[in-house]
Amino acid sequence: MATSLSLRVNGKTVVRDVEPNTLLVTFIRETLRLTGTHIGCDTAQCGACTVHLDGHAVKSCNVLALQAADRDVTTIEGVEAEDGTMHPMQAAFKECHGLQCGYCTPGMVMSAIDLVKNHAENASDDRKIREALVGNFCRCTGYQNIVKAIQVGATGMNAVP
């Protein structure tokens, strides 16, 4: 039995009917067609589906869509500036070659933005960045350039002097 769901996605109010067991990642990808949020494991292990819920990173494969009712969801599509300019973290991932195949990149960027916004004191220390990314898997890069990208992105976000 479908239930009406109202939430804000990337700053816009969205109202749709959803089944009670619909995952947030499925709602984002299939209902809203925002396919930048990836499905990697369906078990909240890989972080490819990371989005922001009320300003904090969550794995959207582990959240029911109805749990996001009347809340703010930001996907990778929602982090760029209104004029289309990349978010400083996105630009840093590009500049520092913090990606290879790119499958994990949206989730990594969302987790990195969360790290800088909510734990800026950890955004310059290699070890603390790696600890913060423990729930985001990259099978291609070896993480070194991802760590560098987060440090550069944090500077771009004016979070680290």
Q: What domains are defined for the chain? A: 3-78 (3.10.20.30), 88-156 (1.10.150.120)
Which tokens hold the place of 156? 């771009």
Output the pLDDT for position 44.
86
Token code pair at residue 99: 């990606």
| pLDDT for residue 160 | 52
pLDDT, position 140? 87
Who contacts 123 (Cβ-Cβ below 8 Å, separation ≥6)?
A: 115, 116, 129, 150, 151, 154, 159, 160
Residues of the chain predicted below pLDDT 70: 159-161
Per the CB < 8 A criterion, the answer to whether 149 and 95 are in contact is yes
pTM summary value: 0.93
**Pairing state between β 3-9 and 72-74:** parallel
Which amino acid, residue 143? Y
Q: How many CB atoms lie within 10 A of CB 160?
A: 18
pLDDT of residue 159: 59
Query: Per this entry, what is the length of the chain?
Result: 161
